[in-house]
């Protein structure tokens, strides 16, 4: 199984290593050649370039991929690249990181599999505060 | 008409000025604070500070009314794509026109369904080609939605079409000659029109037939 990872930052590189460890054939794309260092001893592919660039996506093997993760540092780039991977290369499993909850929800409705870490943080933090509050009230009343 | 313009650079601000002069209602969205201050000085409440790829900003700009037209003319192609998509698919804006900064991204606009685009670079390149006759064939107009284009071909003395009647030419399928420009005068092409060296022939064709047409006319 082949996966392409667009954006090899902290998130992209960690996902890449995880998938490679599970037996996927992984190729990463990043504009910065130094991003390769994040992958450690890397046996997979690595292409330097922009994920909007057709030549770069083809070099990374997008046409043969079953899965793609898009996690560059720009929401709008991620959304556009995600749609290119879906529509031009017909990749069924395209997962796109979108930090803005509103855009993540909007594009999820349009059929893009968006993951919003901000929304996750909001939910987790709210839950954490609720948990403290419950404990506090118990202490006072108990 | 109500028009939202995303991007208050040279393109956006000049369009805004013209449209306001034509009595249209305009909101001009600019994300850079320094640039926004200048725009506010000229356009007052018609200028708005914000990132037009954020849904909340677009809503403040009245995207839900919806506007009759959205112009996505920032200097960033990804942003222009997103703005156009949100406008058309999220708010049923009847018409969104996007600026393409890098002509290599044209394909992506097409792929994502943003069919109405303007690319200054491609336009300028077309004009350059027009001045360089050895290219043989010049694109004058691209009718994307119709799937047609209008091209011009310069016929030379040694061109296979020179001296032939139009009816006798074997033109590629999906192409038709429209007019010839000879000594500064344009004439509509008829079957009996004879193509002569020096003629500038205008043709309409389906994209993809350019090379065949060029070969048929100029070799």
Residue B125 has a pLDDT of 77
* pLDDT at A142 (0 to 100): 44
Q: Chain A residue with minimal CA distance to B103? A: A53
Instruction: Please say if the pLDDT value at position A141 is more than 60.
Output: no
Give the model confidence (pLDDT) of A3-32 as tens digits: 999 999 999 999 999 999 999 999 999 999
Average pLDDT score over residue span A42-51: 96
Number of Cβ pairs < 8 A linking chain A and chain B: 44
A86, A107 Cβ separation under 8 angstroms: no
Query: pLDDT tens digits, chain B, 219 residues: what are they?
Result: 999 999 999 999 999 999 999 999 999 999 999 999 999 999 999 999 999 999 999 999 999 999 999 999 999 999 999 999 999 999 999 999 999 999 999 999 999 999 899 988 887 777 776 666 555 788 888 888 888 999 888 888 888 899 999 998 989 999 999 999 988 888 999 999 999 998 999 999 998 888 889 888 888
Q: Spell out which chain A residues touch chain B, with contact meaning CB-CB distance below 8 angstroms.
A: 52-54, 74-77, 79-80, 83-84, 87-88, 100, 102-103, 106, 110
CB count in 10 Å sphere of residue B92: 10
Instruction: Tell me which chain B residues have a C-beta less than 8 angstroms from the C-beta of A74.
Output: 78
Q: Is the pLDDT of residue A140 over 60?
A: no
CB-nearest to B82 from A79, A84, A88 is A79
Chain B residue numbers touching A77 (CB-CB < 8 A): 78
- State yes or no: pLDDT of A134 exceeds 70: no
- Please name which of A106, A104, A68 lies closest in space to residue A84, comparing C-alpha atoms: A68
CB contacts, 8 Å: B81 with chain A = 76, 80
Task: Report the alpha-carbon distance of residue B78 to residue A107 in Å, rounded.
Answer: 14
Q: How many CB atoms lie within 10 A of CB A59?
A: 15
* ipTM of model over 0.90: no
Residue B78: the pLDDT is 97
The residues near B73 (Cβ < 8 Å, ≥ 6 apart) are B5, B6, B7, B9, B11, B12, B15, B80, B98, B99
pLDDT attached to residue B140: 83
The pairing of beta strand B175-182 with beta strand B117-118: unpaired
Residues in chain A: 142
pLDDT in tens, A72-102: 999 999 999 999 999 999 999 999 999 999 9
CATH code given to domain A2-116: 3.40.50.720
Answer yes or no: are the C-beta atoms of B47 and B30 closer than 8 Å.
yes
Q: Nearest CB to A76: which of B56, B79, B108?
A: B79
Which residue among A54, A74, A88 places its CB closest to the CB of B78? A74
Of the candidates A95, A29, A22, which has an alpha carbon nearest to the alpha carbon of residue A59? A29
Q: Do B82 and A76 touch (CB under 8 A)?
A: yes
Sketch the domain layout of chain A as residue ranges: 2-116
CB contact under 8 Å between A76 and B53, yes or no, is yes
Contact list in A for residue B54 (CB cut-off 8 A) is 100, 102-103
What's chain A's average pLDDT?
A: 93
pTM, entire model: 0.78
CB B183 within 8 A of CB B214: no
* CA of A96 vs chain B CAs: smallest distance (Å): 14
**Per-residue pLDDT, B209:** 87
Residues A25-51 have a mean pLDDT of 96
Closest chain A residue to B51, measured at CA = A76
Asked if A54's CB is within 8 angstroms of B104's CB, the reply is: yes
Q: Which residues pair with A3 in a beta bridge?
A: A26, A67
Query: Is residue B147 a contact partner of residue B158, using CB atoms and an 8 Å limit?
Result: no
pLDDT of residue B207: 87
Strand, coil or helix: B123: helix
Q: CA–CA separation, B213 vs B171, rounded Å?
A: 6
Q: Per CB distance under 8 Å, which residues of B are interface residues toward A?
A: 53-56, 76-79, 81-82, 85-86, 89-90, 104-105, 107-108, 111-112
| Integer Cα distance of B199 and B2 in angstroms | 46
Query: What pLDDT does B3 receive?
Result: 97
* A54, A77, A88: residue with CB nearest B78: A77
Test B90 with A88 for CB contact under 8 angstroms.
no
Locate all alpha helices (DSSP H) within A27-142, ordered by sequence.
54-59, 75-87, 101-109, 117-141
Q: Which residues of B touch A52 (CB under 8 A)?
A: 77-78, 105, 108
Classify B27 as helix, strand or coil: strand
Distance CA B29, CA B51 (A): 7
For A99-125, write each residue's pLDDT tens digit.
Answer: 999 999 999 999 999 999 999 999 999
Residue A106 and residue B90: Cβ atoms within 8 Å?
Answer: yes
Test the B interface: residue of A6, A31, A80 with most B CBs within 10 Å? A80
Q: Which residue blocks in chain B are alpha helix, DSSP H?
A: 10-21, 33-43, 55-60, 77-85, 91, 106-111, 120-131, 210-218
């Amino acid at each position: 199984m082949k996966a392409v990872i667009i954006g090899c930052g902290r998130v992209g590189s960690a996902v890449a290593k995880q998938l490679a460890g599970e037996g996927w054939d992984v190729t990463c794309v990043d504009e910065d050649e130094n991003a390769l260092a994040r992958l450690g001893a890397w046996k997979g592919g690595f292409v330097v370039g922009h994920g909007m660039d057709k030549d770069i996506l083809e070099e990374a093997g997008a046409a043969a991929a079953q899965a793609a993760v898009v996690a560059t540092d720009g929401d709008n780039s991620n959304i556009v690249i995600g749609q290119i991977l879906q529509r031009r290369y017909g990749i069924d499993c395209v997962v796109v990181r979108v930090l803005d909850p509103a855009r993540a929800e909007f594009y999820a409705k349009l059929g893009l599999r968006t993951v919003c870490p901000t929304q996750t943080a909001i939910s987790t933090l709210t839950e954490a505060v609720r948990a403290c509050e419950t404990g506090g009230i118990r202490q006072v009343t108990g | 008409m109500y028009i939202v313009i995303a991007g208050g650079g040279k393109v956006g601000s000049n369009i805004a000025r013209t449209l306001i002069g034509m009595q249209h209602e305009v909101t001009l969205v600019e994300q850079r604070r320094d640039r926004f201050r200048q725009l506010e000085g000229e356009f007052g409440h018609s200028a708005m500070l914000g990132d037009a790829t954020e849904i909340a900003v677009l809503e403040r700009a009245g995207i839900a009314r919806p506007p009759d037209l959205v112009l996505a003319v920032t200097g960033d192609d990804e942003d222009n794509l997103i703005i156009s998509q949100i406008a058309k698919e999220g708010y049923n804006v009847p018409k969104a026109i996007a600026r393409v900064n890098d002509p290599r991204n044209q394909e992506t606009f097409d792929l994502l369904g943003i069919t109405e685009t303007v690319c200054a670079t491609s336009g300028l390149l077309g004009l350059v080609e027009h001045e360089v006759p050895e290219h043989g064939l010049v694109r004058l107009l691209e009718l994307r939605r119709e799937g047609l284009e209008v091209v011009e071909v310069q016929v030379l003395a040694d061109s296979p079409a020179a001296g032939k009647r139009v009816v006798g030419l074997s033109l590629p399928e999906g192409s038709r000659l429209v007019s010839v420009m000879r000594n500064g005068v344009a004439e509509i092409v008829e079957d009996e029109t004879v193509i002569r060296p020096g003629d500038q022939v205008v043709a309409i064709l389906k994209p993809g037939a350019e090379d065949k047409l060029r070969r048929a006319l100029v070799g």
